[in-house]
A and B are shown apart, each in its own frame.
Chain A
Amino acid sequence: MQEITTTRTNPYIDPVLHIWHGEIPLYLFLGGVVAGIMILTGSWFLLRPTTERSRALSLLPWASPVLLSVGMIFLWLDLEHPFNAWRFYLTLKFGSPMSWGAWILLLIYPASMLLAWAGSPAEVRQAWLGRLAKVPKLDRLSDWASENVKPLALANVVLGAALGIYTGVLLGTMAARPLWNSAILGPLFLVSGLSTGAAFLLLYRLADQERITLSKIDMGFIAVELLLIALWLIGLASGGAAARAAVAQFFGGPYTAAFWTLVIALGLVTPLIAEVIEHRHKVVPGRVTAVLVLIGGFALRWIVVFAGQHSGWVSELTQR
Chain B
Amino acid sequence: MSDKSYAMVLDTRTCVGCSACVIGCKTENAVARSYARDWVFTETTGTYPNLHMTIRSERCNHCEDAPCVAVCPTGSSHYGPGGTVQVNQDKCSGCKACIAACPYGARFIDPNVGAIDKCTFCVHRIEHGVPTTSCQEVCPTQSIYFGDLNDPNSEVSQLLATREHYTLLPGAGTKPKHFYLK
To the question of whether A and B form a pair in one complex, the answer is yes
Q: List the interface of chain A (C-beta within 8 A of B).
A: 1-14, 17, 19-20, 78-82, 84-85, 87-88, 90-91, 93, 95-99, 101-102, 170, 173-177, 240, 309, 312-314, 318-320
| A8: chain B residues within 8 A (beta carbon) | 36, 39, 41, 58, 105
A81 and B99 contacting across the interface, CB-CB below 8 Å: no
| B22: chain A residues within 8 A (beta carbon) | 7
Give B30 Cβ to nearest chain A Cβ, in Å: 17
| B58: chain A residues within 8 A (beta carbon) | 6, 8
Which bracket fits the contact residues of B? 35 or more
| A91: chain B residues within 8 A (beta carbon) | 73-75
When each residue 50-89 of chain B gets 1 if its CB lies under 8 Å from chain A and 0 otherwise, what string results? 0000000010000000010111111110000000000000
A313 and B40 contacting across the interface, CB-CB below 8 Å: no
Instruction: Tell me if B129 counts as interface (CB < 8 A to partner A).
Output: no
Kindly list 4 other residue pairs between chains A and B, CB separation below 8 angstroms, not including A93-B73, A313-B169, A319-B41. Answer: A79-B93, A87-B92, A98-B71, A313-B171
| B67: chain A residues within 8 A (beta carbon) | 174-176
21 A-B interface contacts by CB (under 8 A): A1-B45, A3-B44, A4-B44, A6-B39, A7-B39, A8-B41, A13-B105, A80-B94, A80-B115, A81-B113, A88-B73, A88-B74, A88-B93, A91-B75, A93-B73, A98-B97, A102-B73, A174-B101, A175-B67, A175-B101, A314-B105
A80 with B41, Cβ < 8 A, contacts A88-B73, A174-B71, A176-B172 known: no
Which 5 A-B pairs rank lowest in CB-CB distance, beginning with the nearest?
A: A80-B94, A8-B39, A95-B70, A81-B94, A176-B103
CA separation between A244 and B96, bound complex, in Å? 25
B172 and A84 contacting across the interface, CB-CB below 8 Å: no
Which B residue's beta carbon lies closest to that of A319? Answer: B168
A interface, over-half SS: loop
A98 with B94, Cβ < 8 A, contacts A12-B107, A174-B71, A175-B173 known: no
Which A residue's beta carbon lies closest to that of B47? Answer: A1
When each residue 101-136 of chain B gets 1 if its CB lies under 8 Å from chain A and 0 otherwise, what string results? 111110111000111000000000000000000000
CA separation between A99 and B75, bound complex, in Å? 10
A319 and B169 contacting across the interface, CB-CB below 8 Å: yes
B41 and A87 contacting across the interface, CB-CB below 8 Å: no
Which A residue's beta carbon lies closest to that of B19? Answer: A7
| A173: chain B residues within 8 A (beta carbon) | 70-71, 101
| B93: chain A residues within 8 A (beta carbon) | 79-82, 84-85, 87-88
CA separation between A170 and B70, bound complex, in Å? 12
| B114: chain A residues within 8 A (beta carbon) | 80-81
A9 with B34, Cβ < 8 A, contacts A84-B74, A174-B101 known: yes
A176 and B42 contacting across the interface, CB-CB below 8 Å: no
B74 and A176 contacting across the interface, CB-CB below 8 Å: no
CA separation between A175 and B90, bound complex, in Å? 27
| A102: chain B residues within 8 A (beta carbon) | 73
Which A residue's beta carbon lies closest to that of B109? Answer: A80
CA separation between A78 and B114, bound complex, in Å? 11
Give A212 Cβ to nearest chain B Cβ, in Å: 42
CA separation between A99 and B76, bound complex, in Å? 12
Return the contact of A12 from the options B19, B44, B99 (Cβ within 8 A).
Answer: B99
A20 with B36, Cβ < 8 A, contacts A12-B107, A93-B75, A174-B71 known: no
Which A residue's beta carbon lies closest to that of B170? Answer: A320
| B76: chain A residues within 8 A (beta carbon) | 87
B95 and A1 contacting across the interface, CB-CB below 8 Å: no
CA separation between A177 and B172, bound complex, in Å? 10
Instruction: Tell me if B91 counts as interface (CB < 8 A to partner A).
Output: yes
CA separation between A79 and B70, bound complex, in Å? 19
Return the contact of A19 from the options B19, B34, B100 (Cβ within 8 A).
Answer: B100
B96 and A96 contacting across the interface, CB-CB below 8 Å: no
CA separation between A70 and B66, bound complex, in Å? 33
Considering the complex, which residues of chain B in the window 1-57 have a beta carbon less than 8 Å from any beta carbon of chain A? 19, 22, 34-36, 39-48
